[in-house]
Structure 1
Amino acid sequence: MRLKVSTLSVKDLYTEKQSNIIRYVTNNDYFMLINHGAKRTGKTILNNDLFLMELRRVGRIAKELGIDRPQYILAGATLGTINKNVLIEITNKYGIEFKFDKFNRFELFGVLVVCTGHSTIGGLGAIRGMTSFGAYINEGSLANEEVFNEIKDRCSGEGARILVDTNPDHPEHWLLKDYIQNPSDAIVDFHFELDDNTFLSERYKKNIKESTPSGMFYDRGIKGLWVSGDGVVYSDFNKDIHFISKEQAEQLNLSSYFAGVDWGYSHYGSIVVIGTDNKGNYYMVEEHAKQYEEIDYWVGVAKDIKDRYGNINFYADSARPEHIARFKKERIRAIDANKRVLSGIEEVARLIKNQRLFVVYDVAQRFREEIYKYIWNERTGEPVKENDDVLDSLRYAIYTHVTKPKAGISGKNAFTR
């Protein structure tokens, strides 16, 4: 039986950091409040509650002004993430059901809430020209800057306020430089790190810290810092741990295989084969990397792999759909790879950090060069697009394998790129 919220004290509901922010917003006026920092720290949970508080406040203001249907903007990277991060969480916590009209709007506490995606310029259509009494921007660092500014400009109703929550990004990001690093009476921010969430067990926090890749991912994910990578991308890779010999590989009892494909010509094209065991470990058992080869060559490589490993999945770079079509024509199971860069790198880096990814040294000539030359761009926080061909095919294979739809979900490629 769910315990009713009304029977709980503030300490049962909120961490000290969250309580301090609620105390601030209750006793101070502001135009924009930004909660930013590490994952799993309660930023969105807090903003979801502040969102409900804001709707009630807007309803009162509108009533005093004689406005029957005041408008409010609810924005997320996509409509799907709004539903997942905000609306479903509110429904689960408070039992509030949302009834949408054909324009992706719903009414709550007498306020008409207009939902829009903010990650692309297409989000402008839903809000252009409207007068809003406030906005809640979820995952603010993912917003298109023009859409973010338009949301801000639309908030011209009496007493309008804007709530923002976000994970950190690179240190040149406009949200950091233009807003967080320029606080005022109108713009306030609060920083979260993992240890601020006192509802998490010490065991959980210890495990998360120890399993998070070193460098940028740790600084962002645990400390909540806006930092770029420094040095090599896979800094936890240790040749004495992660390379295994061909003789060691022959002793493995691998249960399944899949492949990753990065198309190339003047730069290296690459196909890697990954095997897994029943302990959840991954092994790169084959590397095929060549320059100046046409699609016929790669079809031959893939057919040879298929003959030896069976009809396995080839998770391929979607940038060359004609090559994927050719693979399919040749009855090779080619599937568009999930190409999310940072998420994919983080997954590979986590396996390396946890000593669950190994590479057969004897077959990995190109990998042996790239692993120490693949570096971060300190300005953008993205990896430099050099020395990444085999590493891209490895990332495509592992991240798509990990995130692929479960059995029973129709369609092979349920990803948003």
Structure 2
Amino acid sequence: MGLNNLLTAKQQEVLHTYLKGDFKTMILTGAVRSGKTFIDNLLFLYELRRVKEQAKLEDEKHPQFILAGASSGSIYNNVIASLSNQFGIDLRPDRHNHYHLYGVDITPVYTDSIRGLAGARGFTAYGAYVNEASLANQKVFSEILSRCSKAGSHVICDTNPDNPQHWLKKDYIDNDDPDDKTVTFCFTMDDNTFLAPDYVKQKKAQTPTGMFYDREILGLWVSGDGIVYRDFDQRTMIINQEQLPDDLHIYCGVDWGFEHKGVITVWGDDDEGNIYLLHEYTAQFKFIDYWVNLAKKLQDKYGHSLTFWADSARPDNVTEFQRAGINCRNANKSKMPGIEKVAELMKTGRFFINENGIDKFLDEIYQYVWDENTGEPKKENDDVMDSMRYAIFNEHKQNKTQFINSSYF
């Protein structure tokens, strides 16, 4: 079987550069499903073989190699499970949660917070594989590089694009100092020629226009430009009361407010995957009793099992709802995944608004814009937008666990 049957042209280019060995850090960045992780997992195995031979020459009995990822779960899903599926290599953790292959101690380091520094300190590594590098804490990433001080050690990374001001882009990907010895490869989705053409066509069609498309399909490090929901089309998405389906699954989103607007939005899903904003209730300078009474009226109308996905930043208000017998849950407030979910519905024509039920929705959606400095929406004109995101993102998550630690989000 020829190499063309195993690796794409871009993956072969990466492998060729790796085998030349004239680098310290190799970063694979680009689109989703573009083949980055597959080739990095293969290079991981090459690295372990290299470390085994080097340690033998140095009479090192317990050579260590860093396997880094945002969490233990991401390391398992993206690397350990993939090694089993792709290469038939099954790794089992020891009592320290380390893995072992080819006589190399594979030491996990978790990069999603500064706590990962503790796992990265105190030893010398023969190299590192950093999965999802843009999600890493900058100090933890720097410490990983410092640990890899053995002669000939490599740090291999993969990442999806983020804001162009991200430290990984500015300090490493864009670093053209030859003494830094960093090589970078950028992947587009079209580089993965093993993907089914129908899948690629569908993925392109459902990915929201603008920043999400540029990052996920083209693999570009871009910030947002203009309004957040560029695919919202008032001409086709605003419908009247008579056009609403009769049989809908109903749920709500809650954004608490007083000085700024408080909002409860009521949503309905039909059996065909369409989502409808049925009612938007927006008010300012209202105490919690007002919102409790409104929620109870909605319960009376739609049923007492009606779920309210609420801003977890006000646990006192969530508690008041729950004491009143309202099924109120702390929403997962993950901003970018939530926005992308809403934007995907708009892009695929499955998002509709009841023109008889809205108040501030249209005012906000056309003023809800990206902040190019942060890569996230500006914290303006966002009360209805936040309520919408809490409801839609959380109701359509596979795991609808109630989040208790609101400070995390």
2:222 match: 227
Q: Secondary structure at the match of 1:261?
A: strand
1:216 aligns with 2:218: no
State the distance in 1 between where 2:12 and 2:281 align.
Answer: 55
Q: Secondary structure at the match of 1:362?
A: coil
1:266 aligns with 2:259: yes
| Residues 330, 404 of structure 2: 8 Å contact kept | no
2:353 match: 359
Aligned AA (1:263): W
1:319 match: 313
Aligned AA (2:203): I
1:110 match: 103
**Alpha carbons of 1:414 and 1:278: their partners in 2 closer, same or farther (altered >3 Å)?**
farther
**Alpha carbons of 1:226 and 1:143: their partners in 2 closer, same or farther (altered >3 Å)?**
same
Deviations 1:203-224 (A, max 9, x none): 2211111111111001101110
1:5 match: none
**Alpha carbons of 1:56 and 1:167: their partners in 2 closer, same or farther (altered >3 Å)?**
same
How much does 1:264 deviate? 1.1
Superposed CA RMSD in Å reads: 1.5
1:159 aligns with 2:140: no
Aligned AA (1:381): G
**TM value normalised by structure 1:** 0.94
The runs of 5 or more residues in structure 2 that have no matched partner are none
Aligned AA (1:134): G
1:331 aligns with 2:310: no
1:376 match: 370
Aligned AA (2:360): R
1:190 aligns with 2:181: no
2:389 match: 395
| Residues 124, 149 of structure 2: 8 Å contact kept | yes
Aligned residue among 234, 251, 276 for 1:239: 234
1:4 match: none
| Residues 117, 140 of structure 2: 8 Å contact kept | yes
Aligned residue among 121, 139, 143 for 2:132: 139
1:52 match: 45
State the distance in 2 between where 1:101 and 1:125 align.
Answer: 19
State the distance in 2 between where 1:109 and 1:413 align.
Answer: 41
**TM value normalised by structure 2:** 0.96
2:195 match: 200
| Residues 405, 414 of structure 1: 8 Å contact kept | no
Alignment coverage as a number of residue pairs: 404
Regions of 4+ moved over 6 Å:
none
Aligned AA (1:35): L
| Residues 77, 142 of structure 1: 8 Å contact kept | yes
Deviations 1:307-343 (A, max 9, x none): 1011211111111112111111111111121211011
1:25 match: 18
State the distance in 2 between where 1:86 and 1:223 align.
Answer: 24
Q: Secondary structure at the match of 1:182?
A: coil
Aligned AA (2:381): N
Q: Secondary structure at the match of 1:403?
A: coil
1:10 aligns with 2:3: yes
1:83 aligns with 2:76: yes
How much does 1:39 deviate? 0.4
How much does 1:102 deviate? 3.3
Q: Percent identity?
A: 46
Aligned AA (1:202): P
State the distance in 2 between where 1:152 and 1:112 align.
Answer: 17
| Residues 405, 412 of structure 1: 8 Å contact kept | no
